[in-house]
Structure 1
């Protein structure tokens, strides 16, 4: 499944609505943690594509069949900019620049690869019977990552 994205910030909301509508088809309820995380990831990756490239993009979702309880959900945003994702450091007052840091923290896996004249940034979430761990369960000290952020350009 894929959705063409125009280089317009209003497309981010349309991308979220489109992704939500696809979740029901594969048996993922919109109030499940997996769905909430997926929608946040859609928002972050589409925002990066729209804001930082100023070019059209394509949102792709690979969702499991409704009968499969343990499967991987894959989200991909391909844009027409060949520039690689670049890490950014932002201070606590900055209003942006944390998108890929969120992707890194929420996705089970993520990466990027060249695609034609542009690139594709992807992430995967594993759908399983067991609930995801909370941030506290990982015993990660948030201050260790203060000031780090990533931007896809």
Structure 2
């Protein structure tokens, strides 16, 4: 297709909701972004991969019983690199809505996601899917602020 940039996406992955998927998905996404010559700084890529690891770990730990498979989507557009993790569990975590300075006994991984996203000048959120599950996503600017 004429005019396509080498980094046009989105790219989708699926994986079993188990511990082995965390490093595998992180490496697949890192390799894809490099292979596609995505114009992203090292700092943003490192933050994105840490966010991905936290989101996949969260799905593995909290959603695997109801969602034995998870989905990951990486997309690029509007100067943002976005990663999203989808599972079929209906619970919508509140950590992304919480103030980062509050004490939490769980959800610290999502608070880390929020902090990394905020630091990079990006946005993150949780959305319900049409099938009753959820997608947790973060979008980071291609270049740090």
TM-score by length of 2: 0.74
- Of residues 86, 110, 113, the one that matches 2:124 is 110
TM-superposition CA deviations, 1:27-75 (whole Å, max 9, x none): 346x7101100100110001101111112110100035xxxxx710111
Q: Which residue of 1 aligns with 2:4?
A: none
CA contact (8 A) 1:61 1:76 kept: yes
Q: Which residue of 2 aligns with 1:144?
A: none
**Offset at residue 26 of structure 1 (A):** 3.3
Q: Which residue of 1 aligns with 2:38?
A: 27
In the aligned structure 1, how far is the partner of 2:44 from the partner of 2:128?
27
Residue 79 of structure 1 pairs with residue 87 of structure 2: yes
CA contact (8 A) 1:26 1:63 kept: no
**1:6-17 correspondence to structure 2 within 5 Å:** 6-17=16-27
In the aligned structure 1, how far is the partner of 2:124 from the partner of 2:76?
16
Q: Which residue of 2 aligns with 1:47?
A: 57
Q: Which residue of 2 aligns with 1:59?
A: 72
What is the root-mean-square deviation in Å for CA atoms of aligned residues? Answer: 1.9
**Unaligned residue ranges in structure 1 (runs of 5+):** 65-69, 91-95, 133-153
Secondary structure of the structure 2 residue equivalent to 1:82: coil
Cα–Cα, structure 1 residues 15 and 5, in superposed 2: closer, same or farther, change >3 Å?
same
Cα–Cα, structure 1 residues 83 and 97, in superposed 2: closer, same or farther, change >3 Å?
closer
| Structure exhibiting the larger radius of gyration computed from Cα positions | 1
Residue 99 of structure 1 pairs with residue 113 of structure 2: no
Secondary structure of the structure 1 residue equivalent to 2:54: helix
